[in-house]
Structure 1
């Protein structure tokens, strides 16, 4: 009998565009920032599709708050290296987009919460019932890889483990943890702690954390993505972080 992970990989290879889900049970870990900026650097380095028109990279949002879409909508269209959309409760939209021959990559911003069933046993799907749960199930059924952001703080440990052990691994979805919003000015102690926790659990992680910069905080309001920041040492390092993340994600087998 084929394992869930092998079956998932076989199914993924036969189903069109690669789908990366940016997912965590914990809110406030920067899922929208990662979705938008990862789509920007991937889109900038992906060849045009067969029609030479629409971008082969799509950033999608199933988050009812619509943070990713609101951000991308503020960026001048001619400066975007990716397309974007919101499913707005239409759970059939992403499976159809995955089959679009002009699309090569879909990066999806997930809700900052999950409709968790607190009474679900470890052998049962814990997502519970509700609009967010239904949207997540539809997405996870076509997800090829998951990106799990976590901040370098203790309160992100349990939600990260829950996301991996209860949501991703039972579905055989390969994943990569990325430590986000690390403030280098605070020193290495928190980063070393979170990396040690990740390694202790045997979870794969991106080798480079995403550093915390004010330019990331203000980017949505200014209608900018990381590839468009005004040239500076900080902007260069910020862009470098996301290029390294893109390479790490592409190294995850599917």
Structure 2
């Protein structure tokens, strides 16, 4: 089973890229972030033509998350992160798909730091951690995935010294990530690739992708039942090189049907 996450940076403007990637790689389950489209503008029909059913949580111009599946029904379990009933940002959607509980998230950027946006990011991180703890305590096979907008360690950023004041690399944010993972989650990319340099995002300017001046901000966190089933993970770098593509590349994992190695 292949599960992927992809910040599409505008689903309608990048739809040809998304459809090409789906055709070429055929992931079983996909989480999308930064739809930048209201619910009534989500392109369900062309995705359905590719064999994918979908649920989505849209928002005009900003944010937006979705879950796609070509391996069975999507049973939505949550829309929006708990903990703040006044939060109107479309940043979290959760569903059971093919025996896995999938949490698709788009964590706030938080810049400029300091300021209200950074404070909101830290509060959102706290809410995510509280919900993640409940998911972990359930004992279910859970995958939390998406654009976390955090580089956990220096290896995850091409020039750490240039990012010390940025909300994506701030000590408070990295500490929040460490507390989250410390609950018992497995960082799937690091579990497979160890200390390799591996990025998921490259800015559009200054030829960043060609120079591999990137960041690792798109992540998979797996609960213990899925950690035992993790076979492989990676980044679809080719998609980042296509015309009119997102500034993110898709990230994926492969799971066995049972325990790892079976």
Is the TM value for this pair above 0.5? no
| TM bracket, shorter-chain basis | 0.3 to 0.5
TM-score between the two structures when normalised by the length of structure 2:
0.39
The structure, 1 or 2, with the larger RCO (C-alpha pairs under 8 Å, 6+ apart) is 1
TM-score between the two structures when normalised by the length of structure 1:
0.39
- Normalized per residue, which structure has more helix? 1
